[in-house]
Every structure is written in structure tokens, then in C-alpha cells.
Structure 1
Amino acid sequence: MTDIKQGRGPENAFVGLVKEIFNWYPSHYPAAERKLLFKLDLSILIFACLCFFVKFLDQTNISNAYVSGLKEDFGLYGNELNYFNVCYYVAYVVFQIPGMLLMSRPKLARWLLPSLEVLWGLCTFAQSRVTNVQQLYACRFLVGMLEAPVFAGTHFILGSWYSGPELFKRAGTWFICNPLGSMVSGYLQAAAYTHLSGVGGMPGWRWLFIIDGIFTLPIALAGFLVFPGIPDSPKPFYFTSDDIALAKARLERAKIRKPGKLGLDVFKRTLERWHIWVFVFCYICMIISGYPDSYMNLWLKEEGFSVSQINQLPTVTYAINIVASWLGTTMAAIYPSWVIYTGATICIAFSALCMIVWNIPKPLKFVAWYVFGVSGCLSPILYSTVNTVVKGDSEERALILGAMMTFGYSFNIWVPLLLFPTAGPNGAPRWRIGWPVALAFHVLLWAGFVTAILIHRRDSKRESEENHNEAEETDGNSSAEEPVLLQTEAPVKD
């Protein structure tokens, strides 16, 4: 924020803000550190972004396939779309924490995600060959099992190499592959429906899963070469011994503890602290409140739009999501994160109120669906905050990230069936009960996040006072020369 504070007048302040947003390799970093960050960005970010892209390509594919012929081909006129998601989320929940704890092990961290990616790609191919709905249920379960540690695991990896503003900026950049995958899925399904229907004797919706699988396998193979795992993992070929030493020094100075012994004590000390309770509550609220935001295609189908329009019009929401994810998370590294959360919550509340009223002009309904895209910044800010707040305990951090996904997505197993049914008087996309509940949980998410920031601020102040008192009690130690701090030690902006 130095450039912004020193700027004279609004124009200089704006220029300073722009510089801060795009300043990924600050000039005051030593050359070796800038080079290390560049290597990390090329290896971690590129592989993680591609993995995340194909994951959300697949997650959106099932919905796009449903409205592009799958429903009619298999005679799905009940809640089958919700049941697809239930199968996926059951596996996702069951394998989440075990996968995250494995991710915290240095010898496994480098190979786990690429290996899962290969198996995941094969299951994606299998979805294109199903002949009945039961086979598709089984495929969705396997996909959820193999995908379980990818999301939280990537956040864990990012938090194992980066901290402070570095972490927020990269988490936001990585997260844009969520809406990007969803957006591209719409265009791919529209193209597959138009140009590939009947090719090879298959409808267009089957081709979408084939295309997804074709994307996946090369990414997995690249992961075996470039994905570095965590700093204590086996060294990849492009890192020197000096690079690893510098990476560990950065984490030590930023007070990020390296992985220790994995035992039952991890669960004991985690449950005794406030972090897991507040952050898991926040993520449960995020999952429940955000469930209906991505089902604009069901409304378009009800309104009688063409298949091509149904697949393409929702991509505007994903485009807004991309901008919000990157810019909002980057701004949270510059300004207090609760300010960004408050602004996004106000926008989302407006859209939710429009959906509750429902009988509004169609152009306003489009605006409301599109404004939901602002929610793109909420998840990466929350996860980056977890990585920053719990940086002193690697195992606790892994357990919390896994628990957030486990308990959050466990609600996706049963909540959609009650609040967001596909059919019936309270069914999609009207959701007379679901939309008010979604609004309430958006507000609870905001309240939970602000509570976490306030408690962290209190703990940091208390720790600072204790350190100050200890320094005063030590003869002469308070005047000792302190080491130069790296930029990575910047605290979370709360």
C-alpha cells in the first residue's frame, strides 16, 4: 500500500492502486526471491489452474448435459439431477479429510493430485458411455471420490509456499478457473449440441464428457513433471537446492510451520481452538447460500429459450465471477478483507431479494442472475484467510481445510432435496422456500467471516502484547538487531 499512501491526489492514488494490484514481483524483493516466485507461479499456478478448470468443466457439464438431451434420452422427469449431485457429494464428503491429511505428508503431496487426475479423467470418459441412469450415479460417485482433495488441497499447497498479499493474489487468480470452466462448459455444450450431435452415433451431451476427458489426461501427465507438492517434498528438476532453502527461509520468517508428526493430537488441538468452528460454519453458510446461483439454465429452459441460448447466456455470470474472483481477492490483500466481503454480500442480497419477489421484469431478472457472479471473491478470500490465520500449524490447517469441505458439502447431500428440488410446487427455478433461506445464509456467512476477523485481531493483539512484555523482561534483548522481514510476512488485511 506504500504507493497508494504516498500518492498525491486521486489520480496518483489510482495509479498506485493499479501498481499494487499487478505488482506480483515487488522490486524490493531480492532477485533470487523474485526468480523463485516466478518458478512457483509457473509450476503450481499453471497446473492448479488447469486442474481446477477441468474439474468445474465437469461439474457444470452434468447440468448442461441434463438440459441438452440427457433428460429426454433417459426419461429423467423427477429429482434425478439432484440425485446426481447427491452421489457426487457423498463421495466428496467421505474422502475429503483423509485426502487432505495425505496431502500434508511431504512424500505424497507431490504425486497425489496428478495421480488422482489420471483416474478422474478415466471416469470422465466413462460418463460418455453410460446406458442408464444407475451407471451415471456410479460415475458421479467415483468422480466425487477422486476430486475430493483437489480444491482444499490446492489451497493448502498455496498456503505452504506463499503468504500475505502473495497468497491472496494467487488464490484469486487460481479461483477464476472455477467460473472459467463453468463458462467454457456452456460454449462447449452449445458447440457439441450443434456440431457433434449424431457424430459416431452419439448425442451432443455425450461428446461433452469426451472432450472433458481429452483435456484431463495431458494435464495429469504434466503434473507429474512440474507439480512441486510442498517445500519438504522431493525436489522437482527445475528447483535448485538454493531455491528450496530460500523457500523454507521465507516460510520460517513468515511463521508458517512445516509439517510435523501426524497423530491423534492433531484432532485434539484443532478442536480446542476456535478456528475450525468458525471457519467450518462460514463454509456451511457459503455452500447452502450459493447452491441456486448457478442454475440460471433451468430458468432459461422454463422460459422457452433455445438449447444454444440456455448453454451460452449463463456464461455472463461466469465472466463476472472471473473478474470478482481475481479483483476482489487482490483488493482484499490491499484493503481490509471484511470491506470486500461486505460489498459482495450487499450485491448478492439484492439478487436474492429479486428471486424472492420473482415476478419482476425479465431484464431485471437477467441482471439479478448475473449479479450473483460477484460471489466469486468470497471463497478464495475465505480460504486465504484460513491459510493466513492458521499458518502456525500445518496439520491443523490441513484438517480445517478438509473439514470445511467435508461439513460444507455434506449439506449438499440433503439440503437441495428439501430446499432446491428440481420438480414440484416449490421446485426449480422458483424455489419459494430455497431463495429466502439462501439469503439468510448469505447474511450468516458475512457475520461469521467478520467474527473470524475480529477474533483473529484480538488474538494478534494479545500475542503482540505478550511478546512485547517478554522482550522487556529480557535484559538487552529488546535492543538486539532484528532480521530483515520479507514481504511474505505481511498480515492478513482485516
Structure 2
Amino acid sequence: MSGQKDTPAKSRPTFLGFFKEIFNWYPSHYPSEERKLLFKLDVSILVFACLCFFVKYLDQTNISNAYVSGLKEDFALYGNELNYFNVCYFTAYVVFQVPGLLLMSRPKLARWLLPTLEILWGICTFAQSRVTNVHQLYALRFLVGMLEAPVFAGTHFILGSWYSGPELFKRAGTWFICNPLGSMVSGYLQSAAYTNLSGVGGMPGWRWLFIIDGIFTIPVAIIGFFIFPGIPDSPRPFYLTESDIDLAKERARKAGIRRPGKLNLDVFKRSLKRWHIWVFITCYACMIISSYPSSYMNLWLKAEGYSVTQVNQLPTVSYAIQIVASWFGTTIAAIYPSWAIFSSASLGCLFSTICMIVWHIPKGLKFAAWYLLGLSGCLSPILYSTINTIVKDDSEERALIMGSMMTFGYSFQIWVPLLIFPTAGPYGAPQWKKGWPVAFVFYFLLWAGFITSLVLYRR
């Protein structure tokens, strides 16, 4: 029940063979031309995608780090403003998902869309350092959400257009580590900005974080214009030869990955008639709801009286665990049944949420529970790689499903936090008397939905 139907069955490797298989990205039985092509794709797609994803999560996380590092006090934000910042971001993020993914499926646009959007959101990131009131910040969070919308699912779509089987799982996991890495580095950057840049140029440290993020973002976008290849049917970049493109298309044909077709209303009709879209958007909604509180360990630390430096740095351990879980979990899911890896990570998250529901537990166990939530790092790349495998026979449906997952999933991000995970009040952060039980239920439903998708695919 691995979810990788196109991968031939084989015996489980020995320990030494398992270790070698983890790092074997260019199998010796591949022809030399194919190994060279994979290397070129890895250097181009993964370098840009990882940098792009890194700065996206750097930008997305910085609002929380800025909030606990002086923004709250400077703007006298003592209500649910942090949630409202996220509502503005995710409202735009939701609205522009499906249009962005459908545009990504168009060969002529696929090469240029992400670098162009990244230039624009870099400008908006710089602008956040100059806001003078909370309303300007609301508007800029909306714009950043709109411009970042296609990055996550769009990159999964790109990966699924070039790679298949174990190749895909390994690269998706490697790419996904830039999610927690961006969040992790943001904590250290904010800590360094608070310590070393507060008062420089007459600005508090939290404003410098946005400037630093913008300095990271713009060069990455420029790199993307040169190296990002789009999809195999896109205009050929300089480093790929005509024979490389022909080989890439032949690989896709052998793997059953359908090339782009017409984009019309029939895409919606045929997608809505199949089970894929319904199961996968439900899975992703469960993932979004269940994972919401895991990124707010900093609120608990602040409530416990830890210093600003500790509030920014201690949560990075959780991001480090996410990095390991994302890479290692997804990599071994290319070797062993993905349902087993997905189930193990889900079990760790369920244990953590039980600890949070009880709440009054030793502080050491509380730290362990926060950190164990980092096991969720492998859930998303395994889910998306499975989708790329299952829906490889329809490029437009694949794009629509991934965009719809983000739209449906993050639509809950707009209003659920206000009701279930409020920042203040008797049911507010970080104890979330209503929120943690809800997270437990949706972690379980996510696991059940993933297993259901594999069962349906097998049948």
C-alpha cells in the first residue's frame, strides 16, 4: 500500500543497502545521459525551488517573530491582531491558488511565473519595514499572500512533471526542508536583529527583519529567471540541450505522466467526477487545521517568561526536527511503504496533542511535546508526492487538485484560528482549551484520509 504503483516490487534492502539507497539519487542502471539530465534538473529546479521556498517561509514566519520582538508593544496590539495578520495573508493565499496553479500548467508561463511573483513579493517585504500603522501591515500581508500563492503547490506540480516514483519522493522531501529551515532561520535572524540592530538607523529590530528578508528575496528571484526550467514543454533554458528535452519527455511518457493538454471547462468536469479531488482536499484541510498551533511555541515561551532571545531561538529545535523528518521520512517512503512512514509520524503528533490537551504536565514533557510536533514535517511532502503519483495521467487535473487543496485547506486558516485558536481570552494561546482537542481530531482524520486514498488507488 505504498502509493507508488508505478514502482516495481522489490525485496527490502539490507542495512548497508538501505543506507546506500537513501543517498542514491543517480542509480547506476540509468544510462549516463539520463543521470546527467537528472543532475541538471536537480541543480536547476531544486536550487531555485529550495531558495524560493526558504524565503517564502522566512517571509511568512517573520510576522510572528516580529510580533513577539517589539511589534506588539510598538503598535499597542493587545487583541487578536496577530490572527488578523494571518487572515489577511491567507485570504489572498486562498483566492489566488487555483488561478496560479492553472497558469503554472501552461508551458509558456511556467518558466517565468514564480520568478516574477518573487520579485513583487520581495518589494512588499521591504515595504513592511516602513509601515506606520497596523492597517498598512494588513494590506501588505494581503499582497504578500497573493504573490506567494502558487509557490508551494506549484513547485510540487513542477517536480511531478519531471520526476516520478522514488526520484520524486526523495526530491520532494529534500525541497520541503526549506519550509522549517526558513522558519528556523527567521527565529535566529529576529534574535540577531533584536540584539544587534535595534536602534540602528532609528529603527527597532523587528523592522530590520523585514529588510533582511527582502535582501534575501530579490536575488533569489533574479536567479530564477536564468535557471528555473518550468515544465518539459516550456521554452528550453540554456543549460538543457534538445536531446535533454527529448529524453525528459520520453521519461515522462514511460512513467505515464501526461503532457499538458487544453485548459477548458472539461478540466473541472472530469476532475469533479473522480474521487481524487474530494479525498485530497479533505486531507489537506485536516492537515492545515491540525498543524496550526505547532508554529506558536513562541507564544507559550513568552507566557512562561522566557527572554526575547530565548523566545526566538528555542522553537528552532522544532524546525530542526521538521527538517530531519521531511528529508528522512520522505526518503524512506521511497523505499518502504509510505503508509507506514505516514502512520508513524501521525502517531507522534497525536501523542503531542494529547500532552497539550492535558496541559498540566512537567515542563520537560511539555518541551518534548512541542518538539515532537516537528514529526509532521514529512506528512505534506509524502501526501503531495502520492498525489503526483496517483494523478500523473492528467496534468490539468493534477494542477487543479493541488490548487484546490491549498484553496480549501487555507480557507479554514482564515476563520478557524479566530474561533478555535484565539490569541487572547480564556480559551486563548498557548493552552487553547478548545484548539488542542480539535487538533487531535484532525490529525487522526488526516491519517485516515491518507490511508483511504491509498486503498482507493489500489482498487
Query: Which TM-score bucket, shorter chain as reference?
Result: over 0.9
Indicate whether 1:378 and 2:406 are aligned. Answer: no
| 1:449-490 deviation digits (Å, cap 9, x = unpaired) | 0000000011xxxxxxxxxxxxxxxxxxxxxxxxxxxxxxxx
Using structure 2 for the length normalisation, give the TM-score.
0.98
For residues 347 and 407 of structure 2, what CA distance do their matches in structure 1 show?
27
For residues 310 and 58 of structure 1, what CA distance do their matches in structure 2 show?
18
| 1:95-147 deviation digits (Å, cap 9, x = unpaired) | 11001000000000000000000001000000000000000000000000000
Indicate whether 1:232 and 2:233 are aligned. Answer: yes
Tell me, yes or no, if the aligned pair for 1:354 and 1:365 is still in contact at 8 Å.
yes
Tell me, yes or no, if the aligned pair for 2:12 and 2:336 is still in contact at 8 Å.
no
User: What amino acid is the match of 2:136?
Assistant: Q
Structure 2 partner of 1:289 = 290
Structure 1 partner of 2:145 = 144
1:329 is displaced (CA, Å) by 0.4
Matches within 5 A, 1:384-423: 384-423=385-424
Structure 1 partner of 2:255 = 254
Tell me, yes or no, if the aligned pair for 1:4 and 1:17 is still in contact at 8 Å.
no
For residues 8 and 447 of structure 2, what CA distance do their matches in structure 1 show?
29
User: What amino acid is the match of 1:305?
Assistant: Y
1:5 is displaced (CA, Å) by 3.6
User: What amino acid is the match of 1:259?
Assistant: P
Indicate whether 1:91 and 2:92 are aligned. Answer: yes
| Greater Rg over alpha carbons, structure | 1
Structure 2 partner of 1:180 = 181
Indicate whether 1:162 and 2:163 are aligned. Answer: yes
Structure 1 partner of 2:201 = 200
Structure 1 partner of 2:347 = 346
Pairs aligned (count)? 453
User: What amino acid is the match of 1:388?
Assistant: T
For residues 409 and 400 of structure 2, what CA distance do their matches in structure 1 show?
14
Tell me, yes or no, if the aligned pair for 1:3 and 1:16 is still in contact at 8 Å.
no
User: What amino acid is the match of 1:24?
Assistant: W
1:22 is displaced (CA, Å) by 0.6
Gaps in structure 1 of 5+ consecutive residues: 8-12, 459-494
Matches within 5 A, 1:25-174: 25-174=26-175
User: What amino acid is the match of 2:42?
Assistant: D
1:4 is displaced (CA, Å) by 8.7
**CA RMSD for the aligned pairs?**
1.1
Structure 2 partner of 1:464 = none
For residues 217 and 180 of structure 1, what CA distance do their matches in structure 2 show?
19
Tell me, yes or no, if the aligned pair for 1:187 and 1:312 is still in contact at 8 Å.
yes
Q: Report SS of the residue matched to 1:276.
A: helix
1:63 is displaced (CA, Å) by 0.3
1:421 is displaced (CA, Å) by 0.1
1:2 is displaced (CA, Å) by 10
Structure 2 partner of 1:477 = none
1:59 is displaced (CA, Å) by 1.1
1:25 is displaced (CA, Å) by 0.2
| 1:318-356 deviation digits (Å, cap 9, x = unpaired) | 000000000000111111111011101110111100000
For residues 332 and 10 of structure 2, what CA distance do their matches in structure 1 show?
13
Structure 2 partner of 1:271 = 272
1:394 is displaced (CA, Å) by 0.1
For residues 445 and 43 of structure 2, what CA distance do their matches in structure 1 show?
37
Tell me, yes or no, if the aligned pair for 1:189 and 1:204 is still in contact at 8 Å.
yes
Tell me, yes or no, if the aligned pair for 1:92 and 1:145 is still in contact at 8 Å.
yes
| 1:399-437 deviation digits (Å, cap 9, x = unpaired) | 000000000000000000000000000000010000000
* Structure 1 stretches of 4+ moved >6 Å: 1-4
Tell me, yes or no, if the aligned pair for 2:190 and 2:205 is still in contact at 8 Å.
yes
Matches within 5 A, 1:201-216: 201-216=202-217
Tell me, yes or no, if the aligned pair for 1:25 and 1:34 is still in contact at 8 Å.
yes
CA 1:2/1:271 → structure 2, altered by over 3 Å: closer, same or farther?
closer
Tell me, yes or no, if the aligned pair for 1:4 and 1:16 is still in contact at 8 Å.
no
For residues 450 and 6 of structure 1, what CA distance do their matches in structure 2 show?
21
Indicate whether 1:435 and 2:433 are aligned. Answer: no
For residues 306 and 333 of structure 1, what CA distance do their matches in structure 2 show?
42
For residues 277 and 159 of structure 2, what CA distance do their matches in structure 1 show?
19
For residues 79 and 344 of structure 1, what CA distance do their matches in structure 2 show?
31
User: What amino acid is the match of 1:137?
Assistant: Y
Structure 1 partner of 2:4 = none
For residues 49 and 149 of structure 2, what CA distance do their matches in structure 1 show?
14
User: What amino acid is the match of 2:143?
Assistant: L
For residues 177 and 242 of structure 1, what CA distance do their matches in structure 2 show?
32
Q: Report SS of the residue matched to 1:128.
A: helix
Q: Report SS of the residue matched to 2:236.
A: coil
For residues 103 and 288 of structure 1, what CA distance do their matches in structure 2 show?
26
1:3 is displaced (CA, Å) by 13
Using structure 1 for the length normalisation, give the TM-score.
0.91
For residues 263 and 102 of structure 1, what CA distance do their matches in structure 2 show?
12
Tell me, yes or no, if the aligned pair for 1:91 and 1:145 is still in contact at 8 Å.
yes
Q: Report SS of the residue matched to 2:130.
A: coil
1:58 is displaced (CA, Å) by 1.1
Among all aligned residue pairs of Structure 1 and Structure 2, give the percentage whose two residues are the same amino acid: 78
